[in-house]
Amino acid sequence: MLREVPAVLAIALVVALLLKTFLVQVFVIPSGSMEQTIQIGDRVLVDKLTPWFGSEPGRGDVVVFKDPGGWLESDHKSSSDGPVVRATKKVFSAVGLLPSDNEQDLIKRVIGVPGDTVECCDDRGRLTVNGTAVDEPYIAAGNVPSRQPFKVTVPADRLWVMGDHRDISADSRYHMENPGGGTIPMGNVIGRAVVIAWPIGRVRQLDVPSSLSSLPVRAAGVPAGGRVVAGAGPVGSGGGTETPGGNPVPPEPPVVMGVLGVIPLVVRPRSVRVLGVRSVG
């Protein structure tokens, strides 16, 4: 028994690490920026496997991505844990059994892919992609596609992302003054959210809306730092970004923390608080 238990534990940790790194991971949602599609407290299962085979995010996909810089609050509470507890948490975080204290992940819906021109709003108040008005049934009740007019051409290897709860989502519109004009690097995408895995009553697949997936593909010939303009006027000349006419309120705190994907599917998780973010203990 004394010889077998450590071996079993070691194998379990290795399997957990492989699952977290290459296959699937569950992320816990403490923010309302994706309501009503994903609600506060939902656990979403994220596919991390297909990107290893060259799969890239498409329009309409809900993706989890690393903060490209300046999107999240930077305040971190100091830990009162002793050295042994800190070391144990570090090991468990590495294999996905606990959330990491320095996770900086977000979740949003891809609206524009490289080469797309995304604009809001047309004369009927709709968002358009490459001049085609998009039906957005996933937007939270009472929201409009955007209260902030904008027009952006997505540069190569980047994505334009927006939350479904547009009135409170500090998404690409909110960061148009940042490098990249509010777009995020394709390489920052961790994976595509495919299923709401918990609570049981909300288990369902996260489908891609046909209004976005059916749009024709446009060649991505826009250089990095491509043209971004806030407001309803024509796209200006040259690179760079003009100041947005308004920002979503309030700005978002860190919205997603990652944990091992298989645990919430086996046993009922217990919520704890880590850095003000709900996660799995």
Residues with a catalytic annotation lie at: 33, 108
DSSP conformation letters of 173-191? GGGTTSTTTT-EEGGGEEE
Q: In 3-state terms, what secondary structure has residue 56? A: coil
- For residue 218, what are the CA distances in angstroms to 58, 117, 173? 12, 9, 22
In angstroms, the CA 77 to CA 102 distance is 11
Starting at the edge strand that comes first in sequence, how are the strands of the sheet with 150-153 ordered?
Answer: 132-133, 127-129, 117-120, 150-153, 228-230
278, β-bridge pairs = 273
CA nearest neighbour of 115 among 128, 130, 126, 127? 130
Residues 216 and 208 sit within 8 Å (Cβ to Cβ)? no
The tokens of 165 are what?
């709860």
Calculate the dihedral angle through the C-alpha atoms of 120, 42, 52, 10, rounding to the nearest 10 degrees: 160
